[in-house]
């Protein structure tokens, strides 16, 4: 399909554990990992996932192989996340992914805000969330800790 559309996906990667259902496309951008697609198990769906430094930046699913090929080429060629979404509207990009694209400081700030919002929303209903919120608020108040990417497991 990529060839029919005049797109270049470079060398296609094969997942040895599931070569008939999963394939990947290498990125030309240093900090982006290969973008992987897999086939739906019941219906014809192409499922898309692109990661960078352990963070999922893009995801999505489409039944249109041409649309998938355009998304893969956009990822491979290093288009910004907003541009990938413009090329392939099925692609999902989270607020945290957009923050990672802007840099580590932005990603940390957004992660803290999202964590605190989630804990505040859940603290009325769950005792554990209430206790976790108190610890998170104390950690967030400390400038040195606020520079670190938060996880509730910490």
CA distance linking residue 139 with residue 146, whole number of Å: 7
Q: What is the pLDDT of residue 17?
A: 83
- Distance, in Å, from the CA atom of 25 to the CA atom of 34, rounded to the nearest integer, reads 5
**Residue 129 pLDDT greater than 80, yes or no:** no
- The DSSP element (H or E) to which 58 belongs, if any, is strand 55-62
How far apart (Å, rounded) are the C-alpha atoms in residues 81 and 123? 33
- What percentage of the chain reaches a pLDDT higher than 90? 56
- The length of the chain is 154
In Å, how far are 68, 75, 114, 144 from 103, measured between CA atoms? 27, 18, 17, 18
Specify the range with the lowest mean pLDDT, choosing from 14-18, 46-50, 54-58, 108-112: 14-18
Compute the distance between CA of residue 15 and CA of residue 141 in angstroms, rounded to an integer: 45
Distance CA 149, CA 154 (A): 10
Given a cut of 80, whether residue 92 has pLDDT beyond it is yes
What is the pTM for the complete model shown? 0.80
Reported as type and span, the H/E element at residue 24 is: strand 22-25
Q: Cα–Cα distances in Å, from 132 out to 44, 60, 96, 118, 148?
A: 42, 32, 21, 11, 17
CA-CA distance, 14 to 25, in Å (whole number)?
9
What would the mean pLDDT of 7-11 be, rounded to a whole number? 87
């Amino acid at each position: 399909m990529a060839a029919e559309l005049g797109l270049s996906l470079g060398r296609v990667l094969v997942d040895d554990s599931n070569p008939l259902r999963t394939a990947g496309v290498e990125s030309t951008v240093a900090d982006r990992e290969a973008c992987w697609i897999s086939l739906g198990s019941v219906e014809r769906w192409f499922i898309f996932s692109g990661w960078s430094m352990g963070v999922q930046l893009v995801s999505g699913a489409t039944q249109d192989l041409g649309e998938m090929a355009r998304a893969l080429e956009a990822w491979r060629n290093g288009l910004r996340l907003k541009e990938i979404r413009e090329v392939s509207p099925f692609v999902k990009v989270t607020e945290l992914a957009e923050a990672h694209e802007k840099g580590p400081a932005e990603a940390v700030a957004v992660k803290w805000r999202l964590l605190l919002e989630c804990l505040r929303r859940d603290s009325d209903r769950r005792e554990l969330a209430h206790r976790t919120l108190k610890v998170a608020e104390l950690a967030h108040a400390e400038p040195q800790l606020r520079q670190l990417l938060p996880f509730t497991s910490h």
